[in-house]
Structure 1
Amino acid sequence: MRNQRFFHCPKCGGKLNYQQVAEKQRLVCSNCSYIFYENPIVGVAAIVMNNGKILLGKRSSTTAYPGLWCIPCGYVEYEEDVYDAVRREFREETGLTIEVERVFTALSNFHNPNVHTVGIWFVAHVTGGTLLAGDDISEVGYFELEQLPPLAFPTDRQVIELLKNESKGFN
C-alpha cells in the first residue's frame, strides 16, 4: 500500500482510512463516509528551441533534485489556465516571455513515489524579455539534443527523445 498523505476529512475533520471502493483503494472518512479522491498535481513545461538547441534550467539548491537540469516547468495554480501557467512559470524561471504554439505531449510522472503529477509540455517561442535564471533555477542555457547535461526528471528525457524523433524541426 502507498504512503498515506492525507489523514483528515476536508468536510468534517474525521479520520480518513483506505477502503476498497469501486475496485480501488480510496480514502474514506470514518465519520461522514466522504470519499477523498487523491488526484494528481498538474505541471506545465515549455519547450523552447533556438537553432536546434533546447533551453534548459539548472535546478537551484532549494529545490528537489538540486544541480540537475530540466525543461523550465512548474505547477498550475488553482483556478489558473494551463496556458497562463506555462507562460507564468517560464517567465519566472527564465526572464523570458513566450507565445505557446501547441501542446507537445502529456505524461504521467511517477519518479517521486510521494507525489503523482501529470505534466503537459508545450512548444513555445520567445517573444520578449532577457534570459536570466530566476525562481527555482540557478542557471539557464541552450543545449544540443545530443549533448545534454544531467537531467532531473525521467519524463524530460522522454520528451527530448520524442523531440529527436519528431519529423518536423524547430528553430
Structure 2
Amino acid sequence: MSATFCPDCGNRLVEAERAGKTRKTCGECAFVEYRNPAVGVAVVLRDEAGRVLMGRRATGIYAGLWCIPCGYVEWDEDVRDAAVREFEEETGVRVELGGVVAVHSNFHNRDKQTVGIWFEGITRDGEPHPIDGEFTELDWFGPETPPELAFPTDGLVLGELAGSRDQSTAPARLSGQ
C-alpha cells in the first residue's frame, strides 16, 4: 500500500536508497515512508495436563488449520488489553494474563507481517467455545503433538513450551522470557 504523494506536504514521493533499502521519500520535507509490521497478540491457555487451547480457523487462506487464539492490537489499545479482548472474543473465556511466553517476528504472510507477543493466560471465567466466527472448533493439544498449524510461529512457541515441560501436571511457565 505504497503512497504516491507525501502525507505531510503533498509533494510527489520518489524512491531513494536509505539505510540499505529503497524507500519512498519526499524531497521537500524529508518524509520517509516506512513499511512497519502490525502487532499481534496471543494467549497461551493451558489445562491441568499442560495442553494448550487451540482453535481451528473458519475462514480465509488458513481455514481448517489450527492456531493459538490470537488477534491484532488496535490503535490506542494496550497490548495486554488486546490479548484479553481477542481471547474472550474468540473463545468466550475471560483470562488474566501472566508473563510473556514468547515474542517472534511473523514472516509467513509477505503482505501482512507482524510481531507477535504470546502471553500466558489464567482462566477467570467462562468455558471455551467458538463465538465470533473466527474458529469452527476449539480443542486442547499437547505442545509436543500439535495439529496442522496455520502459523509457523505457533509451532515455535509450542516447541518452546514442549521443551520447558517438567514432570508435574501444573501449567508450565517459562522463566526469563
| Fold match (TM-score > 0.5) | yes
The residue correspondences of 1:21-170 to structure 2 (distance < 5 A) are: 21-29=18-26, 32-50=29-47, 51-61=49-59, 63-135=60-132, 136-166=134-164, 170=171
The residue type paired with residue 37 of structure 2 is P
Aligned CA RMSD, in angstroms, stands at: 1.8
Normalising by structure 2, report the TM-score. Answer: 0.85
Tell me how far 1:13 sits from its aligned partner: 4.5
The residue type paired with residue 28 of structure 1 is T
Query: CA 1:40/1:170 → structure 2, altered by over 3 Å: closer, same or farther?
Result: same
Unaligned runs of 5+ in 1: none
Tell me which residue corresponds to 1:6. 2
**Identical columns (%):** 43
Query: CA 1:25/1:56 → structure 2, altered by over 3 Å: closer, same or farther?
Result: same
- Higher relative strand content: 1
Query: CA 1:133/1:14 → structure 2, altered by over 3 Å: closer, same or farther?
Result: farther
Unaligned runs of 5+ in 2: 173-177
Tell me which residue corresponds to 2:175. none
Mapped to 1, the partners of 2:146 and 2:165 lie a distance apart of: 20
